[in-house]
C-alpha cells in the first residue's frame, strides 16, 4: 500500500488495514516510493497486489508496471474522474476507487483466481523416464519438486495425528499470521461438524493457506496442516471408492488454468511422460465451467 499520507495512528487507516488483513496475511504500508520499489523487486516467487494513492501512482506506476511479480494495481483516491486517463494506459491498473470496500471485493476475486491458476505442476518427459529405466537409475534422479511432493504425501498419510493437539497448533500459528479471529474460532469450534471437503471449499483462509503451502513446498505450514491434508485426502479416497462402481467407462472432466509459455511448452514436451499436480484439483464435467474459468483468466 503506497501512500505518502499514510498515518498508522488514524482510525480510518486501521479499519482499512484490518479489512485487507482479512484477505492477505501480509500487508505492507509504504509512504516512500523508493522503499516500495525495493520491496517489489525483492520478491521473487509471489504475486503482489498494489494499492496506491493517485498522487504517487501517476508517476510511480509507469516505472514499476513491468515488474513481473506485480500482478494488479488499484488506485485509491477521492477524485476518480481526474485520474482515469493515465490509469487506462496501464493494463495492470484494474480500478480507481474512493473507498476500501470495492478494492477488497476485487482483491478477494483476484486472490481466488491466483490460488486457482498458481497450482504448480511437475513435468517429466517420456525421454527422461526411458533414460532412467534404461540406465537403472533410481527415482531420486527425477525433478526435486516432483520427488518432494511424492515423499511428503507418503509421509503425511502415514502419520497418526491427534486432531485436538494438531488443531491447537494450527490455531496458534493462525493467530501469529493475523488470521481473523472469527475465522479461527469458526474452524476450531466446528471442525468436526463439517467434512474436510466442506472446509476446503469454504471461502476462508484455509483454502488459500493450504494452496500456498503446497505451491511453495512450505514444509512448516504443510506440517501444521498435515492432519487436515490427511483427512481431505482420505475423504476423497472414500468418495472415489464409493462412486467408482457407478462409472464403468472413463469420462472427461474439465479445468481451466493459466499457464506461462514455459510451462505450456513443458506440457507439450511431456506427452507420454508424467504430469504431477502438487495440490488438490477442482474440476467439472461441464465444459462450460472450463470456458468460464479460462475467460476470467484472459
Question: What would the pLDDT profile of 14-49 be if each residue is shown by its tens digit?
Answer: 888 888 877 776 788 999 999 999 988 888 767 889
The CATH number given to 11-117 is: 3.40.50
Q: What is the pTM of this model?
A: 0.66
Q: 43-100, pLDDT tens digit by residue?
A: 876 788 999 988 888 888 888 888 888 888 888 887 777 777 787 878 888 888 888 8
- Site of grid cell 506506476: 61
Question: Hey, CA dihedral for 274, 278, 284, 288, is it positive or negative?
Answer: negative
What integer pLDDT is reported at residue 297 of this predicted model?
41
Residue with cell 494488479: 72
Least Cα distance to 96 among 122, 61, 121, 68 occurs for: 61
| Structural Rg of the chain based on CA atoms | 22
Furthest CA-CA distance within the chain: 68
For the chain, list the strands marked E by DSSP: 48-53, 70-76, 93-97, 121-124, 274-277
Which cell is 286 given? Answer: 461441464
Q: Is the pLDDT of residue 294 over 70?
A: no
Angle of helix 163-176 relative to helix 181-190, nearest 10 degrees? Answer: 180
137 Cα distance to chain centroid: 35
For the chain, the domains span: 11-117, 121-297
Most confident of 110-124, 198-212, 224-238: 224-238
Is residue 198 classed as helix, strand or coil in its secondary structure? helix
Each residue's pLDDT tens digit, 106-129: 888 777 666 666 666 777 777 665
In the chain, the N- to C-terminal Cα span, in Å, equals: 26
| Cα 139 to Cα 137: distance, rounded to the nearest angstrom | 7
Residue 75 bridge partners (DSSP):
52, 96
Amino acid at each position: 500500500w503506497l501512500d505518502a499520507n499514510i498515518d498508522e495512528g488514524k482510525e480510518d487507516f486501521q479499519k482499512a488495514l484490518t479489512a485487507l488483513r482479512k484477505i492477505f496475511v501480509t500487508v505492507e504500508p509504504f509512504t516512500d516510493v523508493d522503499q516500495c520499489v525495493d520491496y517489489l523487486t525483492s520478491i521473487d516467487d509471489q504475486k503482489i497486489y498494489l494499492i496506491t494513492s493517485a498522487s504517487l501512482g501517476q508517476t510511480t506506476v509507469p516505472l514499476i508496471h513491468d515488474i513481473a511479480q506485480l500482478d494488479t494495481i488499484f488506485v485509491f483516491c477521492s477524485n476518480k474522474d481526474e485520474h482515469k486517463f493515465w490509469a487506462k494506459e496501464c493494463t495492470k491498473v484494474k480500478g480507481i476507487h474512493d473507498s476500501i470496500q470495492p478494492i477488497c471485493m476485487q482483491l478477494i476475486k483476484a486472490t481466488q483466481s491466483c490460488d486457482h491458476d498458481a497450482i504448480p505442476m511437475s513435468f517429466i518427459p517420456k525421454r527422461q523416464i526411458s533414460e532412467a529405466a534404461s540406465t537403472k537409475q533410481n527415482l531420486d534422479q527425477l525433478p526435486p519438486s516432483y520427488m518432494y511432493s511424492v515423499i511428503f504425501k507418503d509421509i503425511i498419510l502415514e502419520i497418526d495425528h491427534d486432531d485436538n493437539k494438531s488443531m491447537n497448533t494450527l490455531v496458534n500459528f493462525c493467530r501469529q499470521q493475523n488470521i481473523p479471529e472469527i475465522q479461527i474460532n469458526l474452524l476450531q469450534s466446528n471442525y468436526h461438524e463439517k467434512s474436510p471437503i466442506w472446509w476446503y471449499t469454504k471461502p476462508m483462509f484455509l483454502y488459500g493457506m493450504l494452496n500456498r503451502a503446497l505451491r511453495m513446498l512450505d514444509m512448516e505450514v504443510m506440517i501444521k496442516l498435515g492432519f487436515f491434508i490427511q483427512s481431505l485426502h482420505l475423504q476423497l479416497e472414500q468418495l472415489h471408492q464409493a462412486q467408482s462402481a457407478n462409472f464403468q467407462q472413463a469420462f472427461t472432466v474439465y479445468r481451466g488454468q493459466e499457464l506461462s509459455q514455459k510451462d505450456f511448452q513443458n506440457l507439450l514436451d511431456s506427452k507420454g511422460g508424467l504430469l504431477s499436480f502438487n495440490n488438490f484439483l477442482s474440476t467439472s464435467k461441464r465444459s462450460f465451467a472450463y470456458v468460464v474459468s479460462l475467460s476470467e483468466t484472459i
